[in-house]
């Protein structure tokens, strides 16, 4: 909204400046004087072309031609800026040059009409028409067309840059996925085999210890369970890295029932409450999170409150609520570092869920609320990846500013003739004063003196009330003017003194 207001203010100032410049001809005519109403009309016409060039650029180019029929050079000069602006908005080059061709013909025709009425010679007409067409029409049109073509090219370059940035991001993501898959494959091949061997040896040692060294049975059982837990955790890490899929039924009702049954077999008093649909068809990340919450919570109960009554609750609705609550325990509470709960909280938050863990009614509660449809973000945090800072956006200004030194200079040079012409004409109009002495006035003889002799020396005077008559101030006589009248051929027909 602010940009639109600024454009309107700028156009208003431009139109007002054009109007004021063109009206200077009223007090300081350049060339053969014309009636005041023609000067005012041409000034208003030139000022009106400013808003027209913004809304109807093609019409604005054509409507500059009628100004050449009026001898008001200060109204014609600013039209080069109108043509420059309008040419920027015409996208088709063929259409632009067709308009320029038609406008050039119209300008030559209107210039010819003015030359015929003013009695100018052929050479004077051709020079004036050539200057107007070349410097005030073709040059601004070329510059405007080039600037107008740059805008869509800049847009294409910006879109291509966005495409390349997107392709680069996809390539980097693919490379990271490949690296993670390679690391996971190496871990799977090297560690999983060793952990399976450790579990098998621990099971065999447990059976032997039960017969030969019963006092070591608990320590050997702890080694077996720890190796089994390590194997499960390794499988989860490999699943996060993306090399292998999690167990097909991880987090389903059957999987949670197995976790509860395994804890019950280990001597815990635990039961399961499941309400709602099964999670067999749910997102794999959601199922892994459910599995991890239940398993971590039961592991903590086994370590810190093995004799406590425990309840596992899973409610599946619009969101999945998982809760593991244990009551008070008669066994001494073991110490812990809470590292497992911290990692569990991070894993739950990665898929858009929340986790609460703390004392509850003399026991302990772990409660997780998980989205039924996890967010699209991958679990990259667990894999240790760091998001790259996005590159600075490329805008039209970034692409255009360095090019101003190049093709932008052409636009500047093309406008110089128009601005230079307006400036020179304005200076001449302000500082030239049509006046002559009495001796110079008396030297002009009727039917002998020619208009060119007068204008070359004294310039064009102020239009008088009679057609073809001009008034000159009498130098050193404040109350006197001289009037000279010429016919269509430029021959002096009458002269007289007039009171000022």
pLDDT tens sequence across 201-247:
777 777 777 777 777 777 777 787 777 777 777 776 766 665 444 45
Q: What is the DSSP code string of 17-71?
A: HHHHHHHGGGTS--SS---HHHHHHHHHHHHHHHHHHHH-HHHHHHTTGGGGGSS
Residue 214 has a pLDDT of 77
Q: Are 475 and 436 in contact (CB under 8 A)?
A: yes
- The pTM of this model reads 0.41
pLDDT score of 332: 59
Determine the pLDDT at residue 404: 47
pLDDT tens per residue across span 276-304: 988 888 888 888 889 889 988 888 888 78
Asked if 28 and 432 touch (Cβ cutoff 8 Å), the reply is: yes
State the pLDDT at residue 240: 62
Q: Which secondary-structure segment (H or E) carries 112?
A: helix 93-118
Q: What is the pLDDT of residues 51-74, one digit of tens each?
A: 888 888 888 888 888 888 887 777
Please give the pLDDT value at position 38: 82
Quick check: helix, strand or coil at residue 471? strand
The DSSP code sequence of 229-298 is HHHHHHHHHHHHHTSSPPPTTTTSHHHHHHHHHHHHHTT-EEEEEEES--STTS-HHHHHHHHHHHHHHH
Q: What's the token pair of residue 211?
A: 């017969």
- Which residue pairs from 441-449 have beta carbons closer than 8 angstroms and sit at least 24 positions apart in sequence? 441/472, 441/474, 441/482, 441/495, 441/497, 444/484, 444/492, 444/495, 445/492, 446/492, 446/493, 446/494, 446/495, 447/491, 447/492, 447/493, 448/492, 449/491, 449/492
Q: Tell me if 374 sits within 8 A of 285, measured CB to CB.
A: yes
Exposed/middle/buried for 400, CB within 10 Å: 0-12, 13-18, 19+? middle
* pLDDT of 3 strictly over 60: no
Q: Is the pLDDT of residue 380 over 60?
A: no
Highest-confidence range of 308-322, 324-338, 448-462, by mean pLDDT? 308-322
| Chain mean pLDDT for the chain | 76
Higher pLDDT, 330 or 369: 369
pLDDT for res 192: 64
Q: What's the fold here for domain 268-388?
A: Heat Shock Protein 90 (3.30.565)
How far apart CA 274 and CA 311 sit, in angstroms, is 11
Per-residue pLDDT, 321:
94
pLDDT for position 385 = 43
Would you state the structure tokens that stand for residue 440, as one six-digit string?
A: 């110079």
User: Which of 269-273, 323-327, 343-347, 404-408 is the least confident region?
Assistant: 404-408
Q: Output 139 or 312, whichever has higher pLDDT.
A: 312
Task: Measure the CA–CA gap between 23 and 28, rounded to whole angstroms.
Answer: 9
Burial class (CB in 10 A: 0-12, 13-18, 19+), 38: middle
Q: Are 459 and 466 in contact (CB under 8 A)?
A: no
| Contact by Cβ (8 Å): 224, 202 | yes
Span of 111-125, 199-213, 416-430, 441-455 with lowest mean pLDDT? 416-430
* Residue 47: predicted pLDDT: 86
Q: Could you tell me where in the chain the CATH 3.30.565.10 domains are found?
A: 268-388
236: nearest Cα among 413, 356, 383, 103: 383
The whole-angstrom separation of Cα 396 and Cα 402 is: 11
Structure tokens at 310: 């425990």
The pLDDT assigned to 368 comes to: 93
């Amino acid at each position: 909204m602010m940009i639109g207001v600024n454009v309107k203010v700028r156009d208003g100032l431009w139109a007002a400046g054009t109007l004021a410049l063109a009206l200077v001809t009223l007090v300081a005519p350049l060339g053969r004087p014309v009636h005041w109403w023609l000067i005012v009309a041409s000034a208003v016409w030139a000022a009106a072309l400013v808003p027209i060039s913004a809304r109807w650029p093609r019409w604005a180019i054509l409507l500059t031609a009628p100004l050449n029929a009026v001898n008001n050079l200060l109204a014609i000069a600013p039209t080069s800026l109108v043509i420059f602006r309008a040419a920027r908005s015409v996208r088709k080059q063929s259409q632009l040059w067709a308009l320029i061709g038609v406008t050039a013909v119209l300008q030559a025709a209107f210039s010819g009409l003015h030359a015929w009425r003013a009695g100018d010679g052929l050479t004077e007409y051709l020079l004036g028409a050539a200057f107007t067409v070349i410097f005030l029409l073709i040059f601004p049109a070329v510059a405007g067309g080039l600037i107008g073509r740059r805008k869509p090219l800049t847009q294409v370059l910006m879109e291509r840059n966005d495409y390349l940035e997107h392709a680069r991001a996809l390539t980097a993501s693919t490379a990271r996925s490949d690296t993670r898959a390679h690391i996971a494959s190496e871990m799977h091949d090297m560690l999983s085999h060793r952990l399976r061997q450790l579990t098998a040896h621990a099971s065999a040692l447990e059976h032997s210890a039960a017969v030969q060294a019963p006092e070591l049975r608990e320590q050997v059982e702890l080694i077996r369970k720890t190796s089994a837990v390590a194997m499960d955790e390794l499988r989860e890490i490999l699943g996060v890295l993306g090399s292998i899929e999690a167990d097909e039924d991880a987090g389903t009702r059957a999987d949670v029932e197995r976790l509860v049954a395994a804890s019950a077999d280990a001597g815990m008093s635990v039961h399961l409450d499941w309400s709602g649909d099964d999670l067999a068809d749910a997102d794999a990340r959601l199922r892994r999170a459910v599995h991890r919450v239940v398993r971590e919570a039961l592991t903590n109960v086994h370590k810190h409150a093995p004799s406590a009554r425990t309840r596992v609750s899973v409610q599946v609705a619009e969101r999945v609520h998982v809760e593991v609550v244990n009551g008070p325990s008669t066994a001494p509470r073991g110490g812990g570092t809470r590292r497992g709960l911290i990692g569990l909280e991070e894993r739950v938050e990665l898929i858009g869920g929340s986790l609460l863990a703390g004392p509850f009614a003399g026991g302990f509660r772990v409660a997780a609320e998980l989205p039924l449809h996890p967010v699209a973000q991958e679990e990259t945090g667990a894999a240790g990846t760091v998001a790259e800072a996005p590159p600075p956006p490329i805008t039209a200004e970034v692409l255009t500013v360095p090019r101003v030194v190049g093709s932008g200079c052409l636009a500047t040079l093309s406008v110089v003739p128009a601005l230079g012409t307006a400036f020179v004409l304005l200076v001449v109009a302000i500082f030239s004063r049509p006046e002559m002495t009495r001796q110079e006035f008396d030297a002009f003889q009727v039917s002998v003196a020619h208009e060119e002799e007068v204008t070359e020396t004294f310039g064009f005077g102020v239009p008088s009330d009679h057609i073809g008559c001009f008034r000159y101030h009498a130098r050193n006589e404040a109350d006197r003017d001289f009037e000279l009248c010429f016919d269509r051929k430029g021959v002096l027909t009458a002269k007289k003194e007039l009171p000022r």
